[in-house]
């Protein structure tokens, strides 16, 4: 079984391409960023303590950074889950909070990703977010 950390090390690059059909709030033909795990993880790691976003704001910032109109919300959701699960695995293996990706800075209580995580992971991330609020 592949660990979440292995999935987080996925070397696939991000893609920039037109949205093929109207889907998930995107319009056909818009220039779309399909983010990689690497760029989402790096973006989150650069967020300073207390700088909290939600997934929608994260997608908007990534789109601007990569000169696109939108960031795919579907792929972003998959990628956020990988980043969060890998952070939790690292924490469970003994990594200090400061050494894991601070994914709590983009996972608010309304986040679908947060709702898919193990209860202990979600509680840990909620507590870290509350500390930074």
Domain count within the chain:
1
pTM over 0.85: yes
- Rounded distance, CA 109 to CA 2, Å? 28
Domain that holds residue 85: 4-132
List the chain pLDDT tens, one digit each, 133 residues.
788 988 888 888 999 999 999 998 999 999 999 999 999 999 999 999 999 999 999 999 999 999 999 999 999 999 999 999 999 999 999 999 999 999 999 999 989 999 999 999 999 999 999 999 8
| Cβ neighbours of residue 46 closer than 8 Å, sequence gap 6 or more | none
| Cβ neighbours of residue 124 closer than 8 Å, sequence gap 6 or more | 88, 91
């Amino acid at each position: 079984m592949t660990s979440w950390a292995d999935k987080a090390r996925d070397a696939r690059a991000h893609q920039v391409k037109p949205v093929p059909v109207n889907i998930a709030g995107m319009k056909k033909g818009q220039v779309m960023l399909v983010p990689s795990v690497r760029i989402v993880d790096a973006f989150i790691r650069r967020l300073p303590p207390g700088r909290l976003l939600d997934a929608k704001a994260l997608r908007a910032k990534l789109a601007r950074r990569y000169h696109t109109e939108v960031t795919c919300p579907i792929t972003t959701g998959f990628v956020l889950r990988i980043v969060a699960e890998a952070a939790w695995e690292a924490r469970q293996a003994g990594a200090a909070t400061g050494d894991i990706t601070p994914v709590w800075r983009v996972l608010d209580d309304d986040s679908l990703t947060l709702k898919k995580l193990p209860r202990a992971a979600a509680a840990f991330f909620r507590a870290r977010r509350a500390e930074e609020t």
